[in-house]
Chain A
Amino acid sequence: AQKVTQVQTEISVVEKEDVTLDCVYETRDTTYYLFWYKQPPSGELVFLIRRNSFDEQNEISGRYSWNFQKSTSSFNFTITASQVVDSAVYFCAPSNTDKLIFGTGTRLQVFP
C-alpha cells in the first residue's frame, strides 16, 4: 500500500524566517514522481515542482528549494526568507500511474 504523509499540519513563522515542509511517501514502487502544489487563500492549485525517484539532487528555484532522499522516502520543501505572500496550504502529491494522490496539506502562515 502507498501512503503519503505531510508531517506538519500547520506552521507559523515570521517574515524572513526559513521554513521547511516535510513530506514522506511510503511505497514499494521504485519508480515514481513527486509533485508539490501551492493553494493560496484564493483556492486555486498552483503546480510548483516535479521530481522523479531517481533524482536525489537538491533543486533550487529562487527562494524555493527541494530535497529528496529516497532512503528515507522524504521529499522536503524549504522556503528561504519567507514572505507574507508565501502564506498558503502546500500539498505534496506522489504519482506513478494515471492517478495523483495528495497529502493532507501543510498550512503555512507567514506573519509580517
Chain B
Amino acid sequence: SQTIHQWPATLVQPVGSPLSLECTVEGTSNPNLYWYRQAAGRGLQLLFYSVGIGQISSEVPQNLSASRPQDRQFILSSKKLLLSDSGFYLCAWRLSGTGLGNSPLHFGNGTRLTVT
C-alpha cells in the first residue's frame, strides 16, 4: 500500500531563516506531488505541484520554492522566511496519468510552521 511521510510535524523558525520541508511517498511510482498551505482558519491554497522529476509548477508567486530531486521526494524551501509564511503545510500525492483528474489526493499529516 502507499504511504506518505511528511516532516517535521511542527517547526518554529525566526524571520529571515531558511526553510526545508520534506515529503516522501512509498509504494507507488511517478506520482503527482503537491504542496498546499493552510493559514489559520482558512482554506487550502495550492502552492506547487509536480508531474515528474524536475518538473515544478508554481501556482502562487511567493517567498517559497519547490524541488523534486527524486521520483517520490518533494521538498519545499525558502531562503528567508517571512512572518506571512506561517501556516499549516500539507504534502499530497495522487496517481499520475489521470489527465481528467479522477484520482483523489492523499495527504500527509502536515507541518505546522510558526515564523516568529
Chain A residues packing against B (C-beta within 8 Å):
31-33, 35, 37, 43-45, 47, 50, 52, 91, 93, 95-105
Contacts and interface: CB of A to CB of B under 8 A. Distances in A.
B12 interface: no
Contacts of B49: 98-99
SS of B interface (majority): strand
B83 interface: no
A13 B57 CA distance: 41
A99 B101 contact: yes
B106 A47 contact: yes
Interface of B: 32, 34, 36, 42-44, 46, 49, 51, 57, 59, 88, 90, 92, 94, 99-102, 104-107, 109-110, 112
A50 B49 CA distance: 20
Contacts, number: 63
A96 B100 contact: yes
A32 B100 contact: yes
A80 to B, nearest CB: 23
Contacts of A31: 100
Contact of A50 (B59, B90, B102): B102
Nearest to B112: A43
Top-5 shortest CB links A-B: A95-B101, A104-B43, A102-B44, A45-B107, A47-B104
Contacts of A44: 107, 109-110
B109 to A, nearest CB: 5
Contacts of A105: 42-44
11 contacts: A44-B109, A45-B44, A45-B105, A47-B105, A50-B102, A97-B101, A98-B49, A98-B51, A102-B36, A102-B44, A104-B42
Most A Cβ at <10 Å: residue of B36, B99, B101, B102: B101
